[in-house]
Structure 1
Amino acid sequence: MKKINFKAVLALTTVLLVALLATGCGGQESKQSEQSKDQQGEEKLKVGFVYIGPVDDAGWTAAHEQGRQYLEEQLPYVDASDYVENVPENPSDAERVITQLVEQGNKIIFTTSFGYMDPTINVAKKYPDVTFLHCSGYRTAENVGAYFGRMYQARYLSGLVAGKATKSNIIGYVAAFPIPEVIRGINGFTLGVRKVNPDAKVKVVWTNTWIDAAAAKDAAVALLDAGADVIAQHQDSPGPQQAAEAVGKLGIGYNSDMSKMAPKAVMTSPVWNWGPYYVDTVKAIKEGTFDSTPKYGSLTYWGGLAEGVVGLAPFGPMVSEDTKQLVEQEKQRIIGGEWDVFTGPIKDQKGEIKIPDGQKMSDQELLEMNWFVEGVEGTIK
């Protein structure tokens, strides 16, 4: 498997140039070319990935990396060995890496962080024969789809667990950026907490970073010092869970199962399962049936618990059977389609009705969410 780290791109380019000069234009077909063919000798379909963090972050990027590996396992005609990790979200770096993947022959490219949206659109204009899929953004084009998962559903379920567990009625939430994706998750989580514990509050601290283990851990410590006895997070490292474990408190992880990093703290984690989506999407593109037209607000794809793209990691031993049964009951309500998390009545922080009784928020309203529900302590700034 070919692994490319953004920080090593310049050094790698130099080595390749030297190798080309040494071997000339003729000679044997390279090992890379041999690997790009399937058992029938046909050229494989090359699929590239752009990652915000390292593949071993135990978080967001690790979940996408598991999906990439699943894609290669399930579709033998796919070569998905081109991926670049630790790519900054600034336009110049992101566009350069995405362009590099195109020039390497990748016909499908997944860009897996919100900040890659505009760079993806810009590169896509230059390569109309390549299909691009951007995760969590809201811009599409004829050859650009936007995909995400209804993580707020899994967040809600994890909120039930947290609400049942807290004794201080203060739950800390270490959040990344104040954008709709994160706000929606905080709100979904809080609705779950308050369903089982109306007296509980969810305190939010912003780090303004997706992955900074030290900053995330420091934010969790501040919340613990403020009385929180459960720590939740929208961070790409297990730092907040480790901070909770260090002082004998509990936590809710995120992205992937974080129990290995903090087994005495992590009760469960809302997790991503990108593999089936990647397989279905690549199949559709290969068969000519893929359509990038937005179908869920501004998104081409927005699967949830029913589709299996989001879910909960296994429960820790500290979670009671009663709580597990309640979570399963609520999960089945959502999967069955009879109810969804953001169905009224729901109040905002001021105690005013934001969603009337029986009314359900539209997909676009959810994707543009910029307010907190009752029970959240924090500001959007």
Structure 2
Amino acid sequence: MTNGFSLNRRHLLVSGVAVAGLGLVPKPARAQSAPVKVAGIYTVPVEQQWVSRIHKAAQAAQQRGEIEYTFSENTSNTDYPRVMREYAEGGAQLIVGEVFGVEQEAREVATDYPETAFLMGSSFMPDDALANFGVFDNYIQDASYLTGIVAGAMTKSGNIGMVGGFPIPEVNRLMHAFMAGVREMRPDARFQISFIGSWFDPPKAKETALAMIESGADVMYAERFGVSDAAKEKGVLAIGNVIDTQADYPETVVASALWHFEPTLSAALAKVKAGEFQAANFGLYSYMKEGGASLAPFGTFEGKIPQEALDMIASKSAAIKDGSLEVEVDDSEPKAS
């Protein structure tokens, strides 16, 4: 089920501060075997990159018979608490969404429904005083780092353009990881960085990217939709983020860092079914070693990426997966060079 609420995007100003902690939703008399009733609440269309990964994982779980899934998209931040209450009152056992713009209000709602599990995209950590509110984020810095190695090998000018939505942690950490990867191959690389102030404005993202290409960028980091369109139009390369868009840009998108929400959702569902849902940081399931991130297949660029880069990617990937390499998580705003 979808509801037609007015469109609004996550924004920079978040409220409420929480500290890391751990708590438990009270155990039911016995573990659950029936499908879990799951509701998704999204501030953007389910086609949007970030949310699409959550929606895809939930649909797959429903097809397997693990959950009963309903969702609302395009929910404004002002309406978000009401929709949360509506689903909780309606019997949802697990409510999934993203509360970057309504941190405090969402946590206040959760306190009124202690028997409902909430799994929310958040810039903050869980609070041990709010046992039923788990958090997650797209910690795919491992895969972003690997795409940076590709970009560093493919650039000729050493001038890299980067277009993001807002300079918040879930964007910043991926940009920093990408830049670190680029420097593995091109220590002298220069970066143009701009944020468009929107989560979904392809025309503005394209316009920003075109300006960077005019200023010499020959590889674009496409954190937002619209950047790859500019790269295609100007005949330069692009690096994808969260989803694989190479099928739409076969001569443009050379590599992408993919986010897989399935491990995060599976971990949360297991806890709900056992009556042991924890107010924990489920974002750890986005790490590559947990199966939450990967480097997309190179597809049309097979054989076009220098072997030196491929060898480095293979060795770095193995080190990430066995835990001997930890890609730095840097949430500070990246700066142009």
* TM-score when normalising by structure 2: 0.84
Counterpart check, 1:306 vs 2:303 = no
Structure 1 residues 43 and 150 mapped into 2: Cα distance closer, same or farther (>3 Å)? closer
Structure 1 residues 77 and 245 mapped into 2: Cα distance closer, same or farther (>3 Å)? closer
Q: What's the CA shift string for 1:174-202, capped at 9, x where partnerless?
A: 01112222222111111100011111112
Match of 2:205 in 1: 216
User: What displacement does 1:114 show?
Assistant: 2.4
- 1:83 pairs, out of 54, 71, 82, with 71
Q: What's the CA shift string for 1:316-359, capped at 9, x where partnerless?
A: 423426133321221111111112122xxxxxxxxxxxxxxxxx
Identity of aligned residues (%): 30
Match of 1:151 in 2: 140
Letter in 2 for 1:70: A
d(CA) in 2 for partners of 1:67, 1:269: 19
Match of 1:182 in 2: 171
Letter in 2 for 1:370: S
Aligned positions of 1:57-136 closer than 5 A: 57=48, 59-74=49-64, 76-80=65-69, 82-88=70-76, 90=77, 92-112=78-98, 114-136=100-122
- 1:288 pairs, out of 260, 265, 275, with 275
Q: Specify every segment of 5 or more residues in structure 1 that has no aligned partner in the other structure, as ranges.
A: 9-41, 294-298, 343-365
Structure 2 SS opposite 1:253: strand
Letter in 1 for 2:40: F
Letter in 1 for 2:45: P
Contact 1:117–1:139 (8 Å) recurs in 2:
no
d(CA) in 1 for partners of 2:148, 2:34: 47
d(CA) in 2 for partners of 1:251, 1:166: 10
Identify the range of structure 1 (191-200 vs 314-323) with the bigger mean alpha-carbon deviation.
314-323
Counterpart check, 1:325 vs 2:308 = no
Contact 2:289–2:321 (8 Å) recurs in 1:
yes
- 1:51 pairs, out of 38, 42, 45, with 42
Match of 1:31 in 2: none
Contact 2:316–2:325 (8 Å) recurs in 1:
no
Contact 2:163–2:223 (8 Å) recurs in 1:
yes
Contact 2:137–2:170 (8 Å) recurs in 1:
no
d(CA) in 2 for partners of 1:285, 1:301: 17
- 2:264 pairs, out of 268, 271, 277, with 277
Contact 2:132–2:277 (8 Å) recurs in 1:
no
- 2:323 pairs, out of 337, 358, 377, with 337
Match of 2:222 in 1: 233
* TM-score when normalising by structure 1: 0.75
d(CA) in 2 for partners of 1:200, 1:62: 32
Which has the larger Rg? Answer: 1
Structure 1 SS opposite 2:191: strand
d(CA) in 1 for partners of 2:150, 2:159: 14
Contact 1:160–1:327 (8 Å) recurs in 2:
yes
Match of 1:261 in 2: 248
d(CA) in 2 for partners of 1:268, 1:104: 42
User: What displacement does 1:139 show?
Assistant: 4.4
Q: Specify every segment of 5 or more residues in structure 2 that has no aligned partner in the other structure, as ranges.
A: 8-32
Letter in 2 for 1:278: L
| Pairs aligned (count) | 305
Structure 1 residues 99 and 164 mapped into 2: Cα distance closer, same or farther (>3 Å)? same
d(CA) in 2 for partners of 1:112, 1:270: 20
d(CA) in 2 for partners of 1:328, 1:119: 44
Contact 2:242–2:259 (8 Å) recurs in 1:
yes
Structure 2 SS opposite 1:4: coil
User: What displacement does 1:117 show?
Assistant: 2.7
Structure 1 SS opposite 2:278: coil
d(CA) in 2 for partners of 1:234, 1:341: 19
User: What displacement does 1:62 show?
Assistant: 1.6
d(CA) in 1 for partners of 2:305, 2:272: 45
Identify the range of structure 1 (328-337 vs 105-114) with the bigger mean alpha-carbon deviation.
105-114
User: What displacement does 1:44 show?
Assistant: 4.2
User: What displacement does 1:145 show?
Assistant: 0.6
